[in-house]
Amino acid sequence: MHALLEVRSLEVRVEDKPILSGLNLTVNAGEVHAIMGPNGSGKSTLAQVLAGRESFVVTGGEVRYQGRDLLAMAPEERAREGIFLAFQYPVEIPGVSNVYLLKSALNSVRKHQGLAELDAVEFLALVRQKMKLMQMPDDLLYRAVNEGFSGGEKKRNEILQMAMLEPKLAILDETDSGLDIDALQVVANGINALRRADRAMILVTHYQRLLDYVVPDHVHVLAHGRIVKSGGKELALELEQRGYAWIETEAGGGTAPARGAVTQ
């Protein structure tokens, strides 16, 4: 039996600058992993690489997803195979309505899985139900994707898409950033509602705040392009109290080839 996701010795560069240098991570179905770390430690890079962003160059290591070579798959293929990235900065797409994107995304995933495409009535019923969960007004459905959405609306919209697509592996990149406490609760409730025994989540976050609401099974600290410490949910609390410096010092000791990559 394979792990759902197996990252081994992953090395990634951006414009010749090493960002990830030998990252290892194993995620099993049903688990929620939090990846924490200081700014610039490579958290978002990891999230984007897993989703297939081509501007990052993988120079070493491998990633297996359900036993398959993930890095050989196109971004759309990963999405259809059940990987979902909730973007830190959801992209605005003028001229393409939210409802259109949701529908074509859902139907392309369903088609790939051998399921029948939903007709307009079934689709609307489903999307309305999910929007209620995310406390989103109906009109957001007919507006252009993320265009003119507030920060909170954009983040809710990401979780709405996730709720519609029902991924096997959800990667949430700084989904808590820029949210006030009410919006954070709505988003967290949405995420919790999607926790299932056959679904794994990776929460990428700088702060422990989100983890008060979405309690992880595992917490990892990313520094110098590697995971330098792993633990249970209590590690997040410790980081909240003590900051990241002690871990970086602890992990330093010349083992990290990419120290220059740690920037604010």
Partner 1 sequence: MNDAQSHPARDRILADYAQVAPLLPGARTPWVIRTRGMALDQFAQAGFPSTRDEEWKYTSVAAIEKRSFTAMRKRADYRGFETEIATHLFADLASHRLVFVDGCHAPALSTVGRLPFGVTVGTLGDALERTPEALEPYLTQARHQTIFGSLNTAFVSDGAYVHLERGAALEEPIHVLFVATTPNAAIHPRNLIVAQAGAQVTVIEHYVGRDGAEYFTNAVTQIFTANGATVEHCKLQQEAPQGFHIGAIHATQSRDSRFVSHSMAFGAALARNDITTTFDAVGCTTALNGLYLVGGRQHVDHHTRIDHCQPNGTSREYYRGVLDGRSRGVFNGKVIVHPGAQHTDAQQLNHNLLLSEGSEIDTKPQLEIYADDVKCTHGATIGQLDDAQIFYLRSRGVEEATARALLTYAFAQDVIDRIPVAPVRARLAQLLLSRLPQGHRIRELA
Minimum separation from the CB atom of position 123 to partner 1 (A): 12
Among 18, 22, 37, 52, binds partner 1 (CB under 8 A): 52
Q: Does 108 bind partner 1 (CB under 8 A)?
A: yes
Interface with partner 1, residue 165, by CB under 8 A: yes
Is residue 109 within the footprint of partner 1 (CB under 8 A)? yes
Interface segment toward partner 1; rule CB under 8 A; list 3-11, 14-22, 104-112, 214-222: 104-112
Residue 88 interacting with partner 1 (CB under 8 A): no
On whether the CB atoms of residues 63 and 11 are closer than 8 A, the answer is no
- 60 interacts with partner 1 by CB under 8 A: no
Report the distance separating Cα 15 and Cα 242, nearest Å: 33
Cα–Cα distance measured from residue 141 to residue 125, given in angstroms and rounded to the nearest whole number: 13
Is 123 a residue that touches partner 1 (CB under 8 A)? no
**Order of strands across the sheet with 68-69?**
17-27, 5-14, 57-65, 68-69
How many residues bind partner 1 (CB under 8 A)? The answer is: 30
Distance CA 171, CA 86 (A): 6
| H or E element that contains 194 | none
Residue reference for tokens 């759309």: 76
Toward partner 1, which CB reaches closer, 200 or 228?
200
In this complex, which beta carbon is closest to partner 1, that of residue 75 or of residue 178?
75
- Piece of the chain touching partner 1 by CB under 8 A; list 61-69, 99-107, 194-202, 211-219: 99-107
- Nearest CA-CA partner of 149 in 193, 209, 204, 97: 97
Q: Which of 15, 16, 94, 180 binds partner 1 (CB under 8 A)?
A: 94
Best CA proximity match to 21, nearest among 251, 225, 223, 222? 225
Q: Does 104 bind partner 1 (CB under 8 A)?
A: yes
Task: Measure the CA–CA gap between 230 and 120, rounded to whole angstroms.
Answer: 46
Question: Of 75, 152, 252, 257, which one interacts with partner 1 (CB under 8 A)?
Answer: 75
